Amino acid sequence: MQGVNMPEEFDTEVTVPRRRRRKRRRNLTETLLIMFLGFVMGFIVGAVIIHNKSSKEIAEVQEELDTVIEEQSHVNVTKVYVPKRDVKEGNVTLNSYNPDNFRIDNGFMAYFDDDGNKISHLGCDLSYHNKSVNFDELAAAGCEFVMLRCGYRGYSEGGMVKDEKFETYASEADRVGIKVGVYFFTQALTPEEARDEADFTLSIIKDHNISYPVAFDTEYIDDEEARTNTTEISDELRSEICTAFCERIKEEGYYPMIYASENWFRRSLEVESLKQYDFWAPQYLEENDFLYDFTIWQYTDEGSIPGVSGPVDLDISMVDYASFVPHMRDAVVNDGSIETY
């Protein structure tokens, strides 16, 4: 009996370890399966999170783009032809006009191209000192534009004054179809005062049709007591004063310009820093040999033209400002942008 039962006991002892190994194998398989499923679920959840985050970011970008497009759809883009000045880097453009092409035509100075076509525009500048002006006669005489003094700063106390004739002259010029530009006679000592002069100018011209430049008249005052003669102003500071006025004018959509003699440019201004602005050149000679590039030439201060009693400053413009300046102003007023071509 003992001999017979030994294999059975042996088998019993052997069978138990096999079952345990099978159980451990099942546990390992289940663990691996759970880990795999966990990895797969983690991957899927991560992918979903990343997708949602990316979708959110894309949605935010799209929303911003839609906002920009919506805003731009309300902006008027005004295409304006603005003649390009040949300004070279580091240099002030010099006078490149052909002196032989300046000649008197029907009693007034004019400039002709090489083919004999007149390309300049006749004008005059007026102020309170021109007591009587008949604008119908002035227009009939061929005057295309006027540069009106809108105001000035006093020599001594420095108060700003509106020209007494400006309102009348601006309205009359507009009535007969003569284009209007303006100038302010400065006595500014600082850029801040120049900006004040610009604001004063803007307040005067805001209700008028301005289609020629807004000029900053800077020149020597033959009065020892003038505030600009009793205060030391460096060439650099005076140039900053010019820039401050012009930039403020430009902000409101008008076209700035600087009026100064060649001598004043050379001795009292840093002309290099002002080369981005158009120059209005007073030079009372039969031939124009003004050193720098200019767009308006005040060729006499003792001229005569029907409609103006007594001597008058006469000018010719080399640029048809009226063809583009009003469009620039209109774009600014209507919150538009300028696209030049």
Assigned token pair, 263? 């001598």
pLDDT at 19: 46
- Give 71-122 pLDDT, tens digit per residue: 555 556 777 877 777 766 678 889 999 999 999 999 999 999 999 999 999 9
- Give 10-40 pLDDT, tens digit per residue: 343 444 444 444 545 555 566 566 666 655 5
Helix (H, G, I), strand (E, B) or coil at 86: coil
Q: How large is the angle between the packed helices 235-251 and 191-205, nearest 10 degrees?
A: 30
| CA–CA distances in Å: residue 209 to residues 148, 155, 180, 325 | 12, 29, 7, 10
| CA–CA distances in Å: residue 300 to residues 24, 125, 169, 213 | 114, 11, 21, 19
Q: Determine the Cα angle at 155 with ends 316 and 311, to 5°.
A: 35
pLDDT at 91: 81
> Mean pLDDT over residues 134-154, rounded?
97
pLDDT at 338: 81
Mean pLDDT, the chain, rounded, equals 85
pLDDT at 5: 41
The lowest-confidence range among 7-11, 78-82, 198-202 is 7-11
The lowest-confidence range among 76-80, 155-159, 164-168 is 76-80
- Give 221-256 pLDDT, tens digit per residue: 888 888 988 899 999 999 999 999 999 999 999 999
Which has the higher per-residue pLDDT, 159 or 21? 159
DSSP assignment string, 280-317: EEE--SSS---SB--SEEEEEEEE--TTB-S-EEEEEE
Does the structure show a pLDDT above 90 at 4? Answer: no
pTM over cut 0.95: no
Which has the higher per-residue pLDDT, 43 or 273? 273
Identify the CATH number of the domain defined by range 81-340: 3.20.20.80
> Mean pLDDT over residues 169-182, rounded?
98
> Mean pLDDT over residues 279-306, rounded?
95
Alpha helices in 73-159 (DSSP H): 135-140
pLDDT at 13: 41
> What share of the chain in percent tops pLDDT 70?
76
If we measure between CA atoms, which residue out of 274, 275, 294 comes closest to residue 283? 294
Residue 166 · residue 148 · CB < 8 Å: yes
Buried b or exposed e, range 240-255, using 16+ CB within 10 angstroms: bbbbbbbbbbbebbbb
